[in-house]
Amino acid sequence: MSFLSRFFGRWGNPHYARGIMHFNRREYAAAVAEFEHLLEEVRDPSNPDVELARFYAAEAHGHLCPGQVVGVRMAILGCRLIGLDDPRSRAQIKKLIVYVEMDRCTADAVAHVTGVKLGRRSLKFVDYGIMAASFVNLDTGRAFRVVSTEESRALAPAYAPEIPEKYPQQLEAYKRMPDSVLFRVEEVEIDMCEADLPGPTRYKATCARCGQVVRDRREVMVDGRPHCAPCAGGAYFRNARPVARPAVDRSPALPVTKDREGWESRIESRSGVFH
């Protein structure tokens, strides 16, 4: 029996059986399609067999690890606490915002299970380096922060004593632990302005120094004038050097028209290079 079969157990669902068959053949696109069909059918949020959700989270990430098990359970618990039982559904997907505090596989699992995305502005990344996430119900305003406990690592042998290897033991133990052992939970208040919410851009500002458009109130005011973060001295990069147009332009040749020539000249005239 394959590792995945041992992990997920025997399922009678034909989509699961076909998904495992395709996965073992390394036909990953077909496997994903089958598991997606199964996830559409299995909607009961109280179903204890959440391995398929774990599998799909692992499929998106490329491997299965203890942190992903933690992330899946963190997401399920967080959504339950704020009253959402199917966060990926059309009826609930716009009610949820999640703040993740780490850029690790746990965050991938949380995002996949809940359906939140950076591009949808429902996923917020706060770089605290803590294995935690906060779940906000936009309808009710209630929010809960779910933190993975350090004690859970030490307790792994007690919950999976039959498995000697460290990471397989943690993976199985994290599946078995009660939520109260695996997590510490806090009800919190999170202040969000209109510019933090999902939806179209509500506000734009133009940097007084470089002319860059800054969206969603992320401008920095310097001497009463709006600046982008790099011009205000808050960039994550340094020593920026413009790259000339010939080194950038690899697009197919286009006919030179008067409009195109004028447009490119205006772009080039800003700093002598093509941006």
User: Furthest-apart CA pair in the chain: how many Å?
Assistant: 75
For 215-226, the pLDDT digits (tens) are 999 999 999 999
| Residue 227 in tokens | 């600046």
* Domains present along the chain, CATH in parentheses: 43-196 (3.30.1330.130), 200-240 (3.30.60), 245-275 (no CATH)
Burial class (CB within 10 angstroms; exposed 0-12, middle 13-18, buried 19+) of 125 = middle
**pLDDT score for 9:** 44
Phi, psi angles (nearest 5°) of residue 213: -80, 130
> Beta strands of the chain (E only): which ranges?
96-100, 123-125, 132-137, 143-148, 183-188, 204-206, 213-215, 220-222, 225-227
- Pair 39, 81: CB distance under 8 Å: no
- What would the pLDDT profile of 10-45 be if each residue is shown by its tens digit? 445 677 667 767 766 666 566 766 777 777 676 665
3-state secondary structure of 183: strand
Q: Residue 226 and residue 205: Cα distance in Å, rounded?
A: 7
Exposure on the CB side of residue 241, measured as CA atoms within 13 A: 2
Residues 138-155: pLDDT tens digits? 999 999 999 999 999 999
**Cα separation, 34 vs 7, whole angstroms:** 18
For residues 91 and 54, the answer to whether their CB atoms sit within 8 Å is no
pLDDT at 8 (0 to 100): 42
Phi, psi of 147 (to 5 degrees): -120, 130
Model pLDDT for residues 194-215, shown as the tens digit of each residue: 888 888 888 999 999 999 999 9
Q: Residue 205's pLDDT is what?
A: 96
Q: Decide if pLDDT at 273 tops 50.
A: no
* pTM of the predicted protein model: 0.71
Count of H-run helices and E-run strands, the chain = 11, 9
Euclidean distance between CA atoms 87 and 109, whole angstroms: 14
What confidence tier does 69 reach under pLDDT thresholds 50, 70, 90? confident
At 215, which helix (H) or strand (E)? strand 213-215
